[in-house]
Chains A and B, each alone.
Chain A
Amino acid sequence: MDKRYTALGTSMLVLKLLEKEPMYGYQIIKTLEQQSSQVFRLQEGTLYPILHGLEQQGAVISQTASAPSGRIRKYYHITPSGRKLLQEKLQEWETYQTAVNQVIGGVLFE
C-alpha cells in the first residue's frame, strides 16, 4: 500500500481508539490487535513516532499517571483539534476506499 495511506490509516486508527478513552502505547497496540482480529500487527516501536507526531500537532496530549496495576504509564488523550483531525482523516480514508472499490469492483468500466 502507498506509504501515505499506511501512515494515514495508522494515525486514524490511533485517534479512533483514543476517541473512546485515554490509552498508553502498549494498550493501543493490544486494542488494535484485538479489535482487528490480529490483522493489524504493527512493528510496535513505530507507534511512538506517530503518537509523538500527533502530540506535536496538538491532536493528542499526554499525561503520566499510575495505571490500575500500579505502574506509571504515559496516557494519551485526544484533544478537540484531534477529534477534528480524525473527522478529516475518516473523510480522506472514505474517498480513498471508494476509489479502490470503484477500481476493484469495475465501476469505472461500466
Chain B
Amino acid sequence: MNKQEFLDKVTDQISYRPLHPEIRRELEEHMEDRAAEYEAQGLSSQEAEQRAVEAMGDAVSIGVQINAVRHLQKSPVLIFLTIALLFSGCAASAYMFWLPEQVANGFLYYVPGAAVFLITVYWGYPLFIRFRKPIALVIGAVLGALMLIRMLLCAGLITIWGMSPSFYYFSLLSAALLFPLSLYGICRRSPLRFFLASAGFAFLCLACYPLNPFNLGSACLIANMAAAGTGIFMMARGKLSLTGISHSLREKGITGLLFLAGIGLLVGSNFLSPGQRRGWNYFLHPEKNIVSKWDDTYNSVLIKELLSRTPALGGISLTPEEMMAYGTGEWYFAERDPEQISLVRSDYPDEESFEQAWKASSTFRGIVYYNETNVILYDILPQHYHNNYLISLLIFQYGWIPGLLFLGLIGGYYLCLFSRIGKIRQPLASSLAFCCGLLLLGQTILYVLGNFGFQYHAFPVLPLLSEGRVSIMVNMFFLGFIFSAYRYDRVSGFFTHVFTEALPWQP
C-alpha cells in the first residue's frame, strides 16, 4: 500500500468530508518526515515511503478511531420535535385568532420560521464563527441606532408610531449574544473583563429600557439574566479566568469579588429605574394596582380567581350569572368602583339609550355583547392579546392535570435542549448556545408566570407555541443556533484556536 492509498483508507472512515484535507495533510506530513529519516539512513525513496506507511499501523482502525471523536452530532428526533412544536403553535394560533387574515398572516411567519431554523441548524455556527466580527458590528450598529432613536425621541425631534415593539424587544435579546462573544473575541479572558462586560451590558439594557418601558422591561430582565447565567456557566466550566485555576488566595478573592460584582450589576440593574420597580410591584401585587378592567393587573387577578375555582380534571364550571359577573368585572368592581363595570349591550332596548348610558359614564367603560342567555366560558376569559394565555385557558377548559401535563411537555423539551447544550465542549460554542437557551427559557418562564397571574411588564411570547412574527424568526434562530453548535462541536476544532490565550505562538 502506498501513501495515497493509506490516506484514502483513513479518510474513507471519516464521515465529515470537510475534515478530510486537514487529516490527510497531517498524516501525510508525518509519513514524509518518517520517510525522510529512513532515506537519511540509506533506504531508497520508494522503500522509505513503504516503511513509513507500515509504521503508521492499520489505516481503517485509525480512520474509525478519528471518526469516533470527530463526527457531526445529529439530533433528528429533537429537530423533528422542534418543528412539530412550531407547527402545533401555528395550529394553536389559527384556533385563537379571530380573523382569517390573521391566520394567513401567521402562516407567512411559521413557514419561513421553520426555514430559518433548518438553515441555522445546517450552516449557522460555522457561518457565525466565520463572520463573527461583522455580525457583532451589525448587532452593535442596530443597538447604536436604537440609542440614537432614543436620544432623538427624548429631544422631541422625532415621533415614532407603528414601529413594532418586537423590533426593540428582539434587538435587545439578540444583544445578549454579544456578551459571551465579547469575552471570547479577545485573547485574554479575565474576571476584570467579565466585570467590564457585565457593567457595559447592564448599562446598555438600562439605556434602551426607556425607549419602550412596557415592552422592554421584560426584554431587559431576560437579556440581563441570560448574560448573568452565561457568566455563571462560563465560570463553572472554568472558562473565565486566564489560567483556569486561581493560584493564590488573593487572586481567588479578587476573581470572586469581580465575578460577584459583575453578576450583581446584571441582576441589580433590573431594579434601578422607577419603571422597573413599578413593574415588580405589578408582578407581586397586581390587586393593589388595578384601575380599570383594561389593565393587565386585572387579568392577573381574574386568572388567579378562576384558577382557584378550577378542578383537577374537567374544567371550570360556572353559572351564567357568575360568568356575567366575571365578564363585566362586576365581581371585582362592584364594591370598589362600579363605574368600571362593563355595560351589557342587550340591557338597552335601542342605540339611543345605550349611547346615553355610555356617555354618562365618567370612565372609558367596556361593553359586552353577550348576556346570561348566551354567555359562554370563552367570552369571559382573558384573551384580548390573542394567545397570551394559552396555558391558563387550557387549565380553565380542561382542568389542572392537562394544564400541568402541557407544562411538563414544555419542561421536558427544555431538559432535552439543555442536555444537548451541556454536551457541547467548545468554549465559545457552549457559551453562545447556553446564552441562546437562557433567552428562550427566560421568555418561557415569564410567559408561564403570566399565565398564573404574575405578569412582569409586557408578556413575552411562548417560544415555538405562541403567536408571533419577529419573535418566531428570532426564536427559531436561537433554537437553530443551539442545534448547530451541537452539530459542529466535534468537528470544529479548527475554530477554537482563534479564541485561546496561548496564541499567538511561534515555533
Contact = CB atoms under 8 A, between A and B. Distances in A.
Contact of A43 (B56, B426, B506): B56
Nearest 3 pairs between A and B by C-beta?
A43-B57, A80-B244, A49-B65
A59 to B, nearest CB: 10
B58 interface: yes
A73 B29 contact: yes
B507 A68 contact: yes
A22 B69 contact: no
A38 to B, nearest CB: 13
A29 B425 CA distance: 27
Contact of B69 (A29, A56, A80): A56
A61 B56 contact: no
Interface string A42-86: 011110110011011110011101111001111101011101100
Interface string B8-43: 001000000000000101110110011000000000
Contacts of B34: 26, 44
Given A66-B507, A80-B243, A61 B502 contact: yes
Given A25-B26, A81-B238, 13 more contacts: A43-B55, A45-B58, A45-B59, A48-B23, A48-B62, A49-B69, A56-B490, A56-B493, A61-B496, A71-B29, A73-B507, A74-B26, A77-B505
Contacts of A66: 507
5 contacts: A43-B56, A55-B493, A63-B497, A74-B25, A79-B500
Contacts of B401: none
**Size range of the chain A interface in the assembly:** 35 or more
Nearest to B497: A63
B150 interface: no
Interface of B: 10, 23, 25-27, 29-30, 33-34, 55-59, 61-62, 65-66, 68-70, 238, 243-245, 425-427, 490, 493-494, 496-497, 500, 502-503, 505-507
Interface of A: 22, 24-26, 29, 43-46, 48-49, 52-53, 55-58, 61-63, 65-68, 71-75, 77, 79-81, 83-84
A17 to B, nearest CB: 15
A49 B62 contact: yes
A24, A63, A67: residue with the most chain B Cβ atoms closer than 10 Å = A63
B27 A22 contact: no
B55 A58 contact: no
Contact of A44 (B55, B502, B503): B55
A72 B29 CA distance: 9
Contacts of A65: 505-507
Contact of A81 (B29, B33, B244): B244
A43 B58 contact: yes
Given A44-B55, A57-B425, A84-B245, A79 B69 contact: no
A91 B359 CA distance: 85
A22, A43, A74, A80: residue with the most chain B Cβ atoms closer than 10 Å = A80
Contact of A46 (B57, B245, B425): B57
B33, B238, B426: residue with the most chain A Cβ atoms closer than 10 Å = B33
